[in-house]
Chains A and B, each alone.
Chain A
Amino acid sequence: MKPFRYDRAADIPAAVGTLARERAGVFLAGGTNLVDLMKLGVMQPDLLVDVRRLTSAEIEDLPDGGLRIGAAVTNSELAADRRIRSRYPALSQALLSGGSGQLRNLATTGGNLLQRTRCAYFYDTTTPCNKREPGTGCSALEGCNKDHAIFGASRHCVATNPSDMAVAMTALDAVVRIQGPGGERAIPVTELHRLPGQEPERDTTLEHAELITAVDLPPLEFSSNSGYRKARERASYAFALVSVAAALQVRGGLVRDVRIALGGVAHKPWRAHTAEDALRGAPATEESFREAAEAELADAAPLPDNGYKVPLARNLMMRALLDLSGGS
């Protein structure tokens, strides 16, 4: 591991200020992804600014009926919170399907959002990778790509975002609160992660020294009727092949409103707008669910090894919606 300096700032402005002056520095929270990447030499920061104790570790009720999750709330605490479990069950289920008990005890809300995309070539410093070393080429494009993206990839990168939590937050219209050198701002979580495009080295839209301080979950009338389903190669401690987070509101047999996001299919959690649009006002039937899923997947561009993700995503979307509609 390359030697680095460690700084524990007094408060958020100090942390942001310190990092703003240090181009080769990064924030450290739970470290469950960053430290792994440093051990492997994939990330080689000169400075770690520890923000683990700076941001809130509380989950607060907001006046509008939503919740504000402090960036330092651990994945375990968030999954266990009674309000999350009753009002946003998809989020609790997503968290509990991720990592292991040990990892969830250490990983934070902000850190989970900022975990790097997964790809064996990114994690192996002996192979070319545009994300790790821009301009060297994407090894996965013509290599082992069974775990890779079917949506939104570019010829520069086909890696996938591995977060479960972020998929649920994407379906639930979460808002990310950010503090940076230029002040505070808030963006929808759908605008936090980005597609690889020409700059696969950038996983998110955050600028240098911007810190996630909290995530807001807005009130959603039907978010209590939500769920998360993850398909994986072993029963626990595995990244999603494909996952789905969905929330559904049915009135008089018709879909009144719906939220769907997919994991394991793109460089970012994939909000299934096409499927949602197809479903609003449609009968809450298996046929509608299938048609909506297939409409979403019409644009899928699978790679040689990951064609299975297309039927898998279709089946998962249909099953999630059927379960939420009380169907069988």
Chain B
Amino acid sequence: MTTITQRRGIGASLDRRDGPQKVTGTAVYAYEHRFDNPLYLFPVQSDVARGRVTRIEASVAAALPGVVAVLTHENAPRLADTSDKELAVLQASDVAFRGQYVAATVAETLETAQYAASLVRVSYDEQPHDVELRADRADLYAPDHVNPAYPTDTEEGDFDRAFSSAAVQLDETYTTPMEHNNPMEPHTTVALWEAGDLTLYESTQGPAWTRGTLAQVFGLDRDRVRIIAPHVGGGFGSKMPHANTVLAALAAKAVQGSPVKFALTRQQMFSGVGYRTPTIQRMRLGATQDGRITAISHDVVEQTAKTKEFAEQTAVATRTMYATQSRRTTHRLAALDVPVPSWMRAPGEAPGMFALESAMDEMAIRCSLDPIEFRIRNEPEIDAETGLRYSSRNLVACLREGARRFGWASRDPRPRARQEGRWHVGTGVASSTFPVIRIPGSVARISYAAGGRYVVEIAATDIGTGTWTALAQIAADALDASVEEIDLRIGDSNLPDASVQGGSSGITSWGSAIFEAARVFRDLHGHSPSEGDRAEAGAPDNPEAANYAMHAFGACFAEARVDADTAEVRMPRMTGVFAAGRIINPKFARSQIIGGMTWGLGMALHEESLVDARFGHVLNHDFASYHIPANADSGQFDIAWIDEEDPHVNPMGSKGIGEIGIVGSSAAIANAVYHATGIRVRDLPITPAKLLR
């Protein structure tokens, strides 16, 4: 269904249109929208993990000069819909996790609001809490489905028989810790409630979603709610509406007519705006002596919140990666007294592929095969999950091209065989994959304006990914115009609806809408339109989705150096080769992949949210102690693309690349660390403490 005949926009490494604004500090983020006399909100958070608020003493706080309001569950405006417990802020006295908002101060300065919040005294009827995820819990349960709508369990063939009779077996458990999204820009809302209309200047991955959610929660018509988000400083899955947004809107309702500003502190970003569940993953692989996989099982234990279920789809990639005659995948959840886990950087694929691709490395070694050859031997013909052919699948080409670029051929497979100075040096490889996701509901409007310009409108966002430019490139090709003729308008829910910028789905979903709107525009107005001509159209369903399994694939290679004295791990170089259809803007794509592989580096070596079960909240809730990679941690990145023509995925022929960079890269690093040291670390992150002997 690719309809491009001549490309003028797609494929060009254009600079970002918003680049000059960003580097001069004039791109306006949520907190920076200017108002006369704004008010500032600071939350009071629960310091018990479960129980009930029995008393709130707020008179001292309320009496502070400059304090306008102190909101509690006793006096906050009522919400119309409290069915989503995560969003039912200050509606009841019960406390479901430590860090929950139990009050908020609103004041004329941020400092006053913060000080006032510290003076609010909250008494609790504290109940015993339970925040510990273990695989041996008796109360693990199978959810109805896993995110967003995959089956919880799958079974092909007779796994037990195939595994027990396999010549080569592996049965190992891999774990990943709780991790927090931590975009650079904290979650921020400026809320204004005026004459029955609610306007939010919001740091969000989805203006339309946020509008719909706020309208529902407050019982407003959708057209009374407006979300403005021209620039967003990262989201990583966490910038969907959470309790913080509702709290700001509640305050705005309480103080009618005054804008209320609420930006989370870094510490506050470790409770209540999502995180990745810890995972406990038992992997079993069976193979013939010559390395043909006969049995795979992937059994996942992870957590959710008692208040609301989120089931990470950790084993889903295992359903499609490799050929086998038997396969079993399961997901089991423990519901705990914790904040609601949520989407974070390739939910499902990132932790799941750490386990699968570590296990594949271990299994290749047990079969005395090169790990690339082992993967190639188990390349499937069709997608076992759906029984469909792949619209395109170039994993093998990625592995081979990556091996060539990385210099894999000269690798001595023996672990701990290479030492340079005080460094143990090792290399590792892993496969990557990410599905082509199209979220329905996006609509684009195209108008012909004075000066021969096409105005393209869609309520998409740019969370740092390059949307401002990439959609203009797509619109140019859709209209057979030049990129310079396109005026793009995004980042405002008053524009035609757009799906959320998540699941690496933005370009597919929005680009499909733009192509459809361009087709309708040309049908209506031809190639010589008049000023004021316009057309609006939604992204159609993709009929090819019934015929093909659609996934991007890739291969990640890593060189690890492990200090012989300190066990510090350094990554001087990583290579990533991806087959992701047509690349809209190679420059941005390279940045996306470098970012994604750096996420993988952080996941492999650094990131871990530490919870003290006695208290129930994250202790290392700042960047001094929750480590993400610093510049000095990232070495050389060699990024390349396999030319892939996929006429089935969407009109652009593109596959989402926002998240695939993290998938597999943590396993490639773990495999490289094993090769360097002979030590297999199966629980992330790989810290010196786990390697020191």
Contacts and interface: CB of A to CB of B under 8 A. Distances in A.
Interface of A: 1-3, 40-41, 120-121, 123-124, 126-127, 139, 142-144, 146-147, 231-239, 241, 305-306, 308, 311-312, 315-316, 318-319
B187 interface: no
Contact of A319 (B47, B114, B422, B621): B422
B610 A232 contact: no
A150 to B, nearest CB: 13
Contacts of B619: 120-121, 124, 127, 143-144
B681 to A, nearest CB: 13
Contact of B610 (A41, A126, A142, A144): A144
B111 interface: yes
Contact of A234 (B565, B606, B621): B606
A316 B566 CA distance: 7
A40 B624 CA distance: 14
A239 B627 CA distance: 11
A124 B633 CA distance: 28
Contact of B692 (A146, A232, A312): A312
Contacts of A139: 612, 614-615
B644 interface: no
B257 interface: no
Nearest to B571: A235
B154 interface: no
B380 interface: no
Given A144-B619, A231-B688, A312-B692, A126 B47 contact: yes
A305 B687 CA distance: 12
A126 B615 contact: yes
B552 to A, nearest CB: 29
Contacts of B422: 319
A235 B606 CA distance: 11
Given A231-B566, A312-B567, A319-B422, 14 more contacts: A3-B111, A40-B267, A121-B619, A126-B47, A127-B615, A143-B619, A233-B606, A234-B633, A235-B568, A235-B632, A236-B632, A239-B624, A312-B688, A315-B565
B625 interface: yes
B101 to A, nearest CB: 14
Contact of B565 (A1, A123, A235, A319): A319
Contacts of B118: 2, 41
B620 interface: yes
B590 interface: no
Interface residues of B, number: 38
The list of the 7 closest CB pairs from A to B, nearest first, reads A235-B632, A308-B689, A231-B566, A236-B632, A126-B47, A315-B565, A120-B619
B115 A2 contact: yes
Nearest to A2: B115
B687 A233 contact: yes
B693 interface: yes
A147 B689 CA distance: 10
A311 to B, nearest CB: 5
Contacts of B617: 126
Nearest to B566: A231
A128 to B, nearest CB: 9
A146 B625 CA distance: 12
Contact of A1 (B111, B605, B692): B111
A308 B630 contact: no
A237 B622 CA distance: 13
Contact of A120 (B567, B610, B629, B692): B610
A318 B563 CA distance: 14
B26 interface: no
A235 B630 contact: yes
Contact of A233 (B114, B627, B632): B627
Given A120-B619, A124-B621, A233-B605, A308 B688 contact: yes
B114 A234 contact: no
A261 B566 CA distance: 17
Nearest to B685: A233
B631 interface: yes
A142 B688 CA distance: 22
A144 B692 contact: no
B688 A144 contact: no
A256 to B, nearest CB: 25
B570 interface: yes
Contacts of A241: 566, 688-689
A144 B566 contact: no
Given A126-B615, A241-B688, A312-B688, A236 B630 contact: yes
B422 to A, nearest CB: 7
10 contacts: A126-B98, A139-B612, A139-B615, A142-B614, A143-B614, A231-B563, A234-B630, A235-B570, A241-B688, A308-B692
A1 B119 CA distance: 11
B610 A315 contact: no
A305 B689 CA distance: 9
Contacts of A234: 605-606, 627, 629-630, 632-633
A234 B606 CA distance: 7
Interface string B265-277: 0010000000000
A322 to B, nearest CB: 9
* Candidate in A146, A306, A318 with the most chain B CB atoms within 10 angstroms: A146
Contacts of B629: 234
A142 B620 CA distance: 16
A234 B622 CA distance: 15
Contact of B630 (A124, A127, A237, A319): A237
A318 B630 contact: no
B424 to A, nearest CB: 13
B688 A233 contact: yes
Given A126-B615, A312-B688, A315-B565, A120 B625 contact: yes
A143 B612 contact: yes
